[in-house]
Amino acid sequence: MTVWPVSYTGFASGVEKFGIKKRGRRDQVQGIVSILVTLPIILFALTVHEYAHGMVANGLGDPTARLQGRLTLNPLAHLDVIGTLMLIVTQRFGWAKPVPINPAYFRDWRKGIMLVGLAGPLANVTLAFIAALPLRFGIPLAPAIRFLLEMTVYINLGLAAFNLIPLPPLDGSRVVMGLLRGRYSYSYAQLEAYGPFILMLLILTGATGYIIMPIWFLLRRLVLGW
């Protein structure tokens, strides 16, 4: 069976959803500063996301990611040059290099692709949960530290929610693929060729916001308690 990527790990942050709004020169400067501050958080979130895919796949018997040097938290192993530039230029979305897997190594390929697909979003939710602990328990923090923790929570939950959209090549589609059977599975697999174009259309029209925000708010309530 051919090797195919788990996801493109798209990130549709919609910086305005994270409190960064651009209205005039001063606000534009503040927006640029905010992006520069949060960019390391975004890159780390993307890195952990892809690392989790590779770790779970390796644990299930697929050495593909390990053999390609992807079982590392070094961002350089996971970053896609164009995806990173898109993130910086558009301030809306970007992607990391997809982690390749070979389902032929899995004892149960359906279960395998579901677990590998869920690994990325769950890793981001875990990061958000850890960052949210001081916020949830009301620990006094300096404004700058509080801002960084809030951004860590919001960005990781945004990445998790976005990738749970059940549209190829996002992680949610791997979960659906593992659940479907027979002709339904075959029909859904045909979306693979058109999924990236549909996804780009949804991003450019802003429709992804209507899809991910209910998931994002649910995850935020679970992580922050409010």
- Give pLDDT tens digits along the chain (226 positions): 222 233 333 333 333 333 434 445 666 666 676 677 788 898 899 999 999 999 999 999 999 999 999 999 999 899 888 877 777 666 566 788 889 999 999 999 999 999 999 999 999 999 999 999 999 998 999 998 998 999 999 999 999 999 999 999 899 999 999 999 888 888 888 888 888 899 888 888 888 888 889 999 999 999 988 7
pLDDT score, position 16: 39
List C-alpha distances in Å: 45 to 41, 112, 128: 6, 23, 9
Catalytic residues: 50
Q: What is the DSSP string of 89-145?
A: HHSS---BPPPEE-GGGSSSHHHHHHHHHHHHHHHHHHHHHHHHHHHHTT----HHH
